[in-house]
Amino acid sequence: MDRPSASHQMVPEEEIIEVKAFIDLFMIAPQTFVDQAEFRCMPLAGGCAISLPSAPAIGLNRVLGIVAPEDLDMACEWMSKRAGRRYLQMNAATAPQRTHDWIRKRGLVAQGHGWAKLRRTAPSTPLIHSGEVATRQVNVTEAEIFGSMMCAGFHFPANLTPLWSAIVGKDGWSCFFAELDGRPIATGAMYAADGCAWLGGGSTVPEFCNRGAQRALIAARLNQGASQGVQTFVVETAQPSADEPNISHANLIVAGFEQIYTRMNYRFPDGS
């Protein structure tokens, strides 16, 4: 991993735990996978830059938690050596004008409606989910099944299975299955540190969508985190719009999450 920048900026709590999760994801990834997939991560100024060219997801090819132009220069230089699509994620509403000027000068272009960032406090009593779907934690022996299901649910290439399999059973991580009649049909993950938790990895096998699996997994992770002393939970999902509703966003709102801001996705120009 590259050495962090000496500079530092104030990063919101909601971003810090997400940054920590992805740095840890890199740290625990199998070395053979890191080498073969050219997986890289650089902590910088309280945020990070992460690159996995074979992954179609923005989340694995982005700069996160960095807004100061001098730090963005370093992140941009680092990203320029990486292949694939690359993005800067930022809350445009709170970024200083000089950062917006930097984005224009560098030729970054906003794409889509952005990502909604949501937060809630820990439940005061355990949540009870009723329905046909049950949840349980993933056993270490089931790590490959978990990883392959995540890839299938997110339409990731199968060669990313070792990455997601690696988080099962690791310190800080809690991985869950949602099951229907004893068959795993959906996945969910949580990374917790310092009283905060980031929720991710919520994917459902396509033929079992709309059966309540993700609502059950949200409750399971909130209960697990609360039992570990987590006080604040954060998560992100695609920003819904009139022409593109998002059931994940709706599930999170029903579960007590509140949207606190929208983070835009600015794509680096090819060749930068």
- Residue ending a domain, among 63, 80, 114, is 114
> Does 244 fall in a domain?
no
> Does 170 fall in a domain?
yes
State residue 1's pLDDT score.
52
Same domain membership, residue 128 and residue 107? no
pLDDT in tens, 57-78: 999 999 999 999 999 999 999 9
Question: Distance (Å, rounded) from C-alpha 64 to C-alpha 73?
Answer: 13
pLDDT in tens, 26-51: 999 999 999 999 999 999 988 999 99
CATH number, domain at 192? 3.40.630.30
> Does 57 fall in a domain?
yes
> Does 128 fall in a domain?
yes
Percent of the chain with pLDDT over 90: 84
Question: Distance (Å, rounded) from C-alpha 167 to C-alpha 174?
Answer: 8
> Does 259 fall in a domain?
no
Question: Distance (Å, rounded) from C-alpha 161 to C-alpha 148?
Answer: 5
DSSP sequence for 56-115: --GGGEEEES---HHHHHHHHHHHTTS-S--EEEE-TTTS-HHHHHHHHHHT-EEEEEEE
Token readout for 35 is 């080498």
**Residue 108 reports pLDDT greater than 60:** yes
- Residue ending a domain, among 62, 95, 114, is 114
Integer-rounded Cα Rg, in Å, for the chain is 18
- Residue ending a domain, among 114, 141, 168, is 114
State residue 244's pLDDT score.
85
Q: How many angstroms separate the Cα of 146 from the Cα of each of 23, 151, 168?
A: 20, 9, 8
Same domain membership, residue 108 and residue 87? yes
State residue 271's pLDDT score.
65
Question: DSSP letter at 29?
Answer: S
State residue 215's pLDDT score.
95
State residue 210's pLDDT score.
85
Same domain membership, residue 221 and residue 139? yes
Comparison of pLDDT for 244 and 74, the residue scoring more: 74
Which residue shows structure tokens 């991560």? 41
Across the chain, mean pLDDT equals 93
Strand partners, 109: 267
State residue 243's pLDDT score.
85
pLDDT grade, residue 10 (50/70/90)? low
pLDDT in tens, 161-187: 999 999 999 999 999 999 999 999 999
> Does 186 fall in a domain?
yes
Q: Please count the structural domains in the chain.
A: 2
Question: DSSP letter at 206?
Answer: G
Same domain membership, residue 130 and residue 110? no
Same domain membership, residue 172 and residue 129? yes
Which residue shows structure tokens 């079992």? 208
Average pLDDT over residues 129-148: 95
pTM of the prediction? 0.93
Same domain membership, residue 188 and residue 147? yes
- Name the nearest CA neighbour of 150 among 118, 184, 191, 197: 184
Same domain membership, residue 108 and residue 56? yes
Same domain membership, residue 223 and residue 133? yes
Same domain membership, residue 143 and residue 105? no
> Does 255 fall in a domain?
no
Same domain membership, residue 99 and residue 37? yes
Same domain membership, residue 153 and residue 55? no
Strand partners, 121: 232
Same domain membership, residue 128 and residue 100? no
Structural domain range at position 50: 13-114
The SS3 call for residue 133 is: coil
> Does 250 fall in a domain?
no
